[in-house]
A and B are shown apart, each in its own frame.
Chain A
Amino acid sequence: MSLVVTNLSKKYGDKTVVDHISFSLEHPGVYAFLGTNGAGKSTSLRMMLGMLAKDSGTVTWKGAPLDTMETNVGYLAEERGLYPKFTLMDQLMYFASLKNVSKEDAKKRIDYWVERLELTEYFHPPVVGKKKPKPMTADQLSKGNQQKVQLLAALISDPELLILDEPLSGLDPVNMDLFKQVIHEQVDAGKYIIMSSHQMEVVEEFCEDITILHHGKAVVQGNLNEIKKSYGRVNMFVKTEEPIDDVIEASGLRVINKTPNGIQLRVNGQEQADQFLDMLLTGKGSVEPTRKTIVRFELREPSLHEIFVEKAGENVEDEAQ
């Protein structure tokens, strides 16, 4: 195993912000850290990196305690940070030197990533007139472009372990796709990535293993497919040409969501879904006992979003009680 986190805990006064979290990264890929705001994602990541003292727990990398001075780690912080008044090139060269990247390699890597992340015009501003353009500083960039420069900083040492804290938040769809491509490339290159996010569909796209945190506790943890399988195929989507409210009422099923694209229903398994399908086909339970025209009928496992909402919601309810 490469990264092993055991019993990680942190308290601020009487409040426990991270409560005995354990997980491991066994092979290259993306491990997701999910949770509501204040769930303890960033705190956990900071403790893993050793920049925040932990109350208990261990973090090891390849069998030895993880020390970012000794291990090539890339980090994209949630609260983005660049020197506002220093030129982009100066600060990236500085970051590279702190990561023990040689000057030549740093220049090559910066050139590569500047082009890859479509930042050329900011690093090499076009010459207008006779005056040589001044190198740009961080405060002259938009938030999205600053985020790209920070991703560049995280990747500049070609890290073996990459920790990305909310890497896609605040990005427009074009740049979000660009970031996703870069993350895919890193996975293909055999990198270990830990990513925290609010965007469930993005996590589903990348991650095999997840931890859902709620108030510092791991409420769901493990392989995403296995977690979904454990729930069973309980989400049913139905779209018909005729109204079927009376059929749903007669079946006793719970409506989760109703949209122009159809109705989402919760069933307790394949048998209940089959019974409902039979009712639609025969018109059983309907005011007009005729066969309904089915446009869409889908039975699937719950999405990560649904699991997340359910788990976070359950805990909120538990606390209310």
Chain B
Amino acid sequence: MKHSRFHGTGKVFKFTFSQMMKAKGFRTTLILMILFAALYYPISQAFGRIGGGGLSEVTETSIDTLYVIDESGLSFMDWFHFDKAGLDPIEIPTIVSSDIAYDAFVEELKESEDAIALLHVHRVADEGSFYYTLVQGTKTSVKTKDLETLQKALQSSVYTQLLEYMKVTPEQMTLLNMSIETDTNYVEVKSIGEPGGDESEKKGVNQDQYTLILLLIVLSSMLISMSGEYISSSIVMEKSSKVVEYLLTSIRPIALLFGKIAAVFLITLFQILIMVFSYVLSVVLFHMIADGFTVSKALEKVSSIIPVNVDITISPLNLVILVCFLLAGMLFYTLIVGVIAASVKNVEEMQERMKSYTLLLFIGMFSTMGITIMNISGGTPPILEQICSFIPITSPFLVPGYLCSNRISIWIALVGLLILFASVLFLLHFAARCYEYLIYYQGQKLKLKDYLNIFKNEKGGNDNA
């Protein structure tokens, strides 16, 4: 029976994986990463507490008056005592119930320079949801940060009051199962047609979104750069030590490449998972030891690390897309490194050629960082985020964070994922050809024209068969 081109991929995978795990450098790096992940939370918390950042501190606010338009019919709600039950207490000097219609109030709010905000409560029966929408005028002196704090207080307060109000009856259970959603509308004074018009499309990122986006950029960068380094050193070592000549009598280059990529893939995931586990464990242990929490309560603290609120959605679908982007992004960049590594003879040449790869990585990473920084200071046109969601170089860095921060729609993320998958498949095919060609041709230096010829031309090595 004739062996397939991929015959031996599993053996390469097994060997590469086991040897990487055995390597002293890998173990040392892993220990350092575990230490970093395990110590980061306790140390940051310890410094925070020393600095006086208590959990039960009352937050001062720039909101003088909060107007409430309640169209929900929830008579039991006490809008005037957020501090009563909220976990993040906030003191607003004046809370006024308004009888003015919502649209009319918004028009007034546009022109107002007072430190006022509007809370619009309404219920959408079809969706089974309550909406708590905070509205702020752009001329107002109310800080966006304070509205975000109010949002959190509101969510906690509403939930607590619901619990207080309800007894355990079938009807109350139905109420309990209804989701509570809040939203903030930024009402712009400038209307469309004025200079700087169409600005209503812009919306900045808040602190929580920024944290999440940054966290995911760091995670994807780590995955991509670690896997890239592993694959390049593995391929170059085999070429510079000439082992590859022996290996090619038993295995096709394509199987060699895929086996390696699979091993590197798993090793990198393993490292990241170990880091995440160490971090979670350190959070749990810290709260159990420092605060005397039970395991379940300490685990609740873990879930609060990623601030899930109205601006952040970590739904199962979002999580699946996020993981797909991280893995496909890693594969995309790893394949690029695979092609580069196949075209060099030794480490020195590799260092030279890796400059272009590093540049590509920087473009992907810093484009996302740049967009995020611009968003903090006012917002970028959504089209920029959408374009970057479709480009495979930037999408692995941008989409995970921006999707979970509700900055891009699920459809844009899915289209971006589709493009990334298509690019990975194309690159897989191209990398396989390049790798075979370059291995068989003894690593001669190729020009762009040669790469195009490789893709067009089927001619490669091993043409006895």
Contact = CB atoms under 8 A, between A and B. Distances in A.
B248 interface: yes
Interface string A110-125: 0000000000000000
A79 B462 contact: no
Contacts of A95: 246-247, 250
A53 interface: yes
B49 interface: no
A79 B3 contact: no
Given A54-B463, A66-B464, A70-B3, A79 B250 contact: no
A69 B3 contact: yes
Contacts of B465: 50, 65-67, 69-70
Given A79-B242, A83-B243, A94-B15, A53 B252 contact: no
Residue of B23, B241, B251 most packed against chain A (CB within 10 A): B241
B243 A53 contact: no
Interface of A is mostly: loop
Contacts of A52: 440-442, 461
B295 to A, nearest CB: 41
A8 to B, nearest CB: 10
A49 B248 contact: yes
Contact of A77 (B15, B245, B251): B245
Interface residues of A, number: 37
A67 B241 contact: no
B463 A49 contact: no
Contact of B247 (A48, A90, A98): A98
Interface string A258-280: 00000000000000000000000
Nearest to A12: B444
B250 A68 contact: yes
B462 A51 contact: yes
A267 B246 CA distance: 47
Given A65-B464, A70-B2, A86-B19, A53 B441 contact: yes
Nearest to B436: A53
Given A67-B462, A84-B237, 8 more contacts: A49-B249, A53-B461, A81-B246, A82-B243, A83-B237, A84-B241, A97-B11, A150-B246
Interface of A: 46, 48-54, 58-59, 65-70, 73-75, 77, 79-86, 90, 94-95, 97-99, 150, 153-154
22 contacts: A49-B248, A50-B248, A51-B248, A51-B440, A51-B461, A53-B459, A53-B461, A67-B462, A67-B465, A68-B249, A68-B250, A69-B250, A69-B251, A69-B465, A75-B246, A80-B242, A81-B246, A83-B243, A84-B237, A90-B15, A97-B15, A150-B246
